[in-house]
C-alpha cells in the first residue's frame, strides 16, 4: 500500500474485476484483517490481491523475492487464454493441480 500510495478501499476497487471473474469475495473486513496481520489470506484471495496489484503472491506473503509478477512469455502471447489458464491453475491447491495435470495427460494420450 505504501509503495503505490493506496488505501484499502483502492485495493478493493482494483480487486473487483478479478473477484467477479473468478467468483471470489474480498470484502473490506477481510482486507483489513490481512493488512493488520491478524489473518493471512487463503490462496484464492492471495491470488486476487496479486492480480489486482500486479505483484507476486510470494512477495505479498513477505518472501524475499521480486515484487513484480512472474508471467511466462507463453502467457503473454496468443489470445490471452493461456494467461487465463495459468491464473486459474495457480488458484487451485496442490491436489487439484495434480488432478488437472492427470486429466490433461489422459486427454493427450487419447490422440
> How confident is the model over 67-78, as pLDDT tens digits?
888 765 444 455
Among residues 40, 43, 50, the alpha carbon closest in space to that of 15 is found at 50
- Residue 48 domain boundaries: 1-70
Which conformational region is residue 80 in: left (phi greater than 0), alpha (psi within -120 to 50 degrees), or beta?
left
pLDDT score of 1: 83
pLDDT band at 13 (very low <50, low <70, confident <90, very high): very high
Among residues 44, 53, 48, the alpha carbon closest in space to that of 7 is found at 53
pLDDT score of 90: 85
CATH code of the domain containing 20: 1.10.260.40
Q: Are residues 15 and 59 in the same domain?
A: yes
For the chain, what is the domain count?
Answer: 2
* Average pLDDT score over residue span 38-55: 91
Q: Are residues 16 and 51 in the same domain?
A: yes
Q: Are residues 59 and 29 in the same domain?
A: yes
Amino acid at each position: 500500500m505504501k509503495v503505490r500510495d493506496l488505501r484499502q478501499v483502492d485495493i478493493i476497487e482494483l480487486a473487483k474485476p478479478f473477484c467477479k471473474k473468478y467468483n471470489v469475495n474480498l470484502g473490506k473486513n477481510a482486507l483489513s484483517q490481512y493488512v493488520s496481520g491478524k489473518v493471512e489470506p487463503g490462496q484464492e484471495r492471495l491470488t486476487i490481491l496479486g492480480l489486482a496489484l500486479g505483484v507476486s503472491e510470494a512477495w505479498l506473503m513477505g518472501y524475499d523475492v521480486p515484487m513484480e509478477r512472474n508471467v511466462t512469455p507463453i502467457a503473454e502471447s496468443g489470445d490471452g487464454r493461456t494467461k487465463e489458464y495459468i491464473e486459474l491453475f495457480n488458484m487451485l491447491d496442490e491436489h487439484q493441480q495434480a488432478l488437472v495435470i492427470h486429466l490433461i495427460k489422459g486427454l493427450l494420450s487419447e490422440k
